[in-house]
């Protein structure tokens, strides 16, 4: 216990420096801003801003980037409630009851409960993260190359299984990410792979230009094709503090959403998105008046809004304990840490207690800042919502260009960004999910190293993946997930035939 308190005090010392407080504020402010603005998400923002963090310490960088991540969950609810357009995918469910509440003149309590709920969830999430991460990282020490290989395969399988659209398309995206991560020098033999004589490709495709292109430029191009007119409720927002009745109705939903969201957030894939749907379904199921859901009940806002915030804390578990990202954002954070020369994994908490505990403590502080930003400053966010997209997109593109160029001061990176911008646009158009691509692109080199090391250890015996219990369990689960849709489809067809 004394070690735990000692670590907490280290974290507090790190988080409470003027520099880190400033970066935390910048992170949560930008997070709220992009959460409010439809058309740019946290993945695009983090990838655009990542090169700008190279000059600062890794702790400050992660504090800021993490702030953008959980800050966006706060901001996303504002557009859902006031405009009926979710700022983030995780706020889709909030539209159902949040917008109805706003139409009934209860936008204030809806915004208030989502901010308070997010604060409670963020704090609970940070507390669980603090207690769970250390024992889990000890468990992570049992992971050797075969276990890592199988775990990555399992993570990619879960990601594909939980895909919103076609599972086959998601698998293709994951494989494509691995293929593109192979470009450049092979670290073992020193041979160039798929560089086609282009010197700039010798170091491989840069994470930042690829992700900025896919999420930044691709999203801008897709939005320019759509012509959506944003209509904001004109009624004055009043009574942001929920009354006693509101609290009584939503406190249970807040605590259930926090726990549910945290543990679903650990899952690879859309943990945060799924948690909002599950939380909404759960609240509806246990409600005394399920028929009122969708007409503006406060539990329908409180549950999902807390779940998405808690899930953003849960997503840090696999990143900090195993070095494996569970979604595109944590994949970017992993990339940022690796660029800073910090490798997350089982030894991460022991080797870099300042980064781990500093980041967790900054989450508490960040959640307090977000509460202040989201309640008294709601008028500011409403005003920002009114800025037309055609004025915003040139600025977003400028940030994309600067972000890509400033990594190596190389025009080639901007060119790569542009190519991936077009690819990202086409992927959106043809409904291919980008998250499996980004995660496998980041994990590709780790996957290859694990595979090669495993085969070297076993002297070419591939049964090594089935002899180790953890590895075998992961592969069996992966196989089950990949085959389950086929089995389900077959059994459905059989049932239909039998009448």
Partner 1 sequence: MVWFVLGIGICIGSIKLKLGNFHTPGPGFLPFLSGGSLALFGLILTFLTTRTGLGEKEDEKDQRELVHWDWKRLINPLFTLFILVVYILLLEPLGFLLTTFICLLFLFKLSDPQKWLMPFVLSFTATALSYLLFSVWLQCQFPKGLIRFW
The Cα 198–Cα 426 span in angstroms is 25
Minimum distance between the CB of residue 339 and partner 1, rounded to whole angstroms?
16
Between 244 and 391, whose beta carbon lies closer to partner 1?
391
Q: Is 73 left (phi over 0), alpha (psi -120 to 50) or beta?
A: alpha
How far is the first Cα of the chain from the last one, in angstroms, to the nearest whole number? 62
Minimum distance between the CB of residue 206 and partner 1, rounded to whole angstroms?
15
Return the structure tokens found at 464. 């090594």
Q: Which stretch binds partner 1 (CB under 8 A): 28-36, 104-112, 365-373, 429-437?
A: 429-437
Q: For the chain, what is the radius of gyration of the CA atoms?
A: 23
Binder among 12, 105, 415, 472 for partner 1 (CB under 8 A):
415
Please state the length of the chain: 499
Q: Which stretch binds partner 1 (CB under 8 A): 4-12, 239-247, 262-270, 407-415?
A: 407-415
Binder among 391, 494, 495, 497 for partner 1 (CB under 8 A):
391
Minimum distance between the CB of residue 80 and partner 1, rounded to whole angstroms?
23
Residue 340 in the binding site for partner 1 (CB under 8 A)? no
Residue 489 in the binding site for partner 1 (CB under 8 A)? yes
Between 245 and 429, whose beta carbon lies closer to partner 1?
429
Q: Which stretch binds partner 1 (CB under 8 A): 58-66, 183-191, 235-243, 263-271?
A: 183-191
Between 172 and 477, whose beta carbon lies closer to partner 1?
172
Q: Which stretch binds partner 1 (CB under 8 A): 87-95, 253-261, 277-285, 399-407?
A: 399-407
The Cα 125–Cα 123 span in angstroms is 5
Do residues 320 and 133 make contact, with C-beta atoms less than 8 angstroms apart? yes
Nearest to 319 by CA among 307, 311, 309, 331: 331
Between 343 and 482, whose beta carbon lies closer to partner 1?
482
Residue 6 in the binding site for partner 1 (CB under 8 A)? no
Residues 201-220 that bind partner 1 (CB under 8 A): 217, 220
Between 176 and 338, whose beta carbon lies closer to partner 1?
176
Please give the torsion angle defined by the CA atoms of residues 157, 160, 162 and 165, in that order, rounded to the nearest 10 degrees. -160
Residue 459 in the binding site for partner 1 (CB under 8 A)? yes
The Cα 252–Cα 302 span in angstroms is 9
The angle, 0 to 180 degrees and rounded to 10, between the axes of the packed helices 18-36 and 378-385 is 50
Residue 225 in the binding site for partner 1 (CB under 8 A)? yes
Long-range contacts of 372-375 (CB under 8 A, 24+ apart): 373/28, 373/29, 373/32, 373/74, 374/32, 374/74, 374/75, 374/78, 374/111, 374/115, 374/118, 375/111, 375/112, 375/115, 375/240
Residue 394 in the binding site for partner 1 (CB under 8 A)? yes
Q: Is 1 helix (H, G, I), strand (E, B) or coil?
A: coil
Residues 55-94 that bind partner 1 (CB under 8 A): 55
Cβ atoms within 10 Å, residue 294? 13
Between 12 and 477, whose beta carbon lies closer to partner 1?
477
Q: Is 197 left (phi over 0), alpha (psi -120 to 50) or beta?
A: left
Minimum distance between the CB of residue 217 and partner 1, rounded to whole angstroms?
7
Residue 398 in the binding site for partner 1 (CB under 8 A)? yes
Residue 172 in the binding site for partner 1 (CB under 8 A)? yes
Find the helix or strand (DSSP H, E) in which 87 lies: none
SS (H, E, C) 268-292: CCCHHHHHHHHHHHHHHHHCCCHHH
Residue 224 in the binding site for partner 1 (CB under 8 A)? yes
Do residues 324 and 152 make contact, with C-beta atoms less than 8 angstroms apart? yes
Q: Which stretch binds partner 1 (CB under 8 A): 24-32, 234-242, 322-330, 414-422?
A: 414-422
The angle, 0 to 180 degrees and rounded to 10, between the axes of the packed helices 435-457 and 328-339 is 60
Binder among 2, 5, 227, 499 for partner 1 (CB under 8 A):
227
Residues near partner 1 (CB under 8 A), total? 67
Minimum distance between the CB of residue 366 and partner 1, rounded to whole angstroms?
22
Residue 457 in the binding site for partner 1 (CB under 8 A)? no
**Contacts with partner 1, residue ranges (CB under 8 A):** 52, 55, 165-169, 171-172, 175-176, 178-179, 182, 186, 188-189, 191, 193-194, 217, 220-222, 224-227, 388, 390-391, 393-395, 397-398, 401-402, 405-406, 409, 411, 414-415, 418, 421-422, 425, 429-431, 447-448, 451-452, 455-456, 459-462, 485-486, 488-489, 492-493
């Amino acid at each position: 216990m004394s070690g735990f308190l000692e670590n907490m005090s280290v974290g507090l010392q790190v988080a409470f420096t003027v520099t880190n407080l400033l970066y935390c504020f910048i992170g949560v402010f930008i997070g709220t801003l992009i959460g409010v603005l439809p058309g740019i998400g946290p993945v695009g923002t983090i990838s655009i801003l990542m090169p700008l963090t190279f000059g600062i310490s890794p702790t400050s960088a992660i504090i800021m980037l993490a702030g953008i991540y959980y800050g966006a969950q706060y901001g996303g609810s504002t557009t859902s409630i006031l405009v009926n357009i979710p700022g983030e995918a995780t706020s889709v469910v909030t539209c159902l009851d949040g917008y109805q509440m706003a139409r009934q003149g209860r936008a204030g309590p809806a915004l208030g409960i989502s901010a308070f709920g997010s604060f409670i969830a963020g704090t609970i999430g940070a507390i669980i993260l603090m207690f769970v991460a250390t024992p889990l990282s000890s468990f992570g020490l049992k992971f050797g190359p075969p276990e890592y290989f199988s775990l990555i395969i399992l993570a990619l399988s879960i990601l594909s299984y939980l895909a919103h659209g076609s599972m086959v398309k998601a698998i293709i995206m994951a494989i494509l990410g691995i293929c593109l991560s192979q470009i450049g020098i092979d670290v073992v033999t020193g041979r160039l792979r798929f560089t086609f004589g282009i010197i700039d490709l010798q170091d491989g495709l840069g994470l930042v230009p690829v992700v900025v292109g896919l999420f930044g430029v691709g999203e801008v191009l897709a939005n320019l094709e759509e012509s959506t007119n944003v209509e904001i409720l004109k009624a004055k927002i009043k009574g942001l503090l929920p009354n006693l009745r509101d609290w009584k109705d939503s406190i249970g939903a807040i605590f259930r959403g926090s726990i549910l969201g945290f543990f679903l957030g650990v899952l690879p894939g859309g943990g945060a998105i799924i948690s909002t749907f599950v939380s909404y379904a759960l609240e509806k199921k246990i409600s005394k008046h399920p028929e009122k859901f969708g007409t503006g009940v406060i539990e329908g806002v409180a549950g999902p809004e807390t779940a998405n915030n808690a899930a953003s804390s849960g997503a840090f578990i696999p990143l900090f304990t195993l070095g494996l990202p569970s979604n595109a954002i944590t994949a970017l954070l992993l990339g940022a840490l690796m660029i800073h020369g910090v490798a997350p994994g089982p030894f991460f908490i022991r080797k870099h207690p300042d980064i781990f505990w500093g980041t967790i403590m900054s989450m508490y502080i960040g959640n307090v800042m977000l509460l202040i930003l989201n309640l008294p400053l709601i008028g500011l966010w409403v005003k920002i919502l009114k800025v037309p997209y055609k004025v915003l997109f040139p600025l977003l593109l400028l940030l994309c260009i600067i972000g890509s160029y400033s990594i190596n001061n190389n025009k080639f990176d901007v060119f790569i960004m542009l190519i991936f911008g077009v690819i990202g646009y086409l992927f959106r158009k043809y409904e291919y999910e980008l998250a499996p691509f980004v995660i496998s692109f980041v994990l590709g080199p780790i996957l290859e190293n694990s595979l090669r090391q495993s085969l070297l250890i076993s002297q070419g015996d591939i049964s090594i993946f089935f002899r180790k219990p953890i590895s075998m369990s992961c592969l069996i689960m992966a196989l089950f997930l990949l085959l389950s849709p086929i089995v389900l489809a077959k059994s459905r067809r059989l049932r239909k035939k039998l009448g």
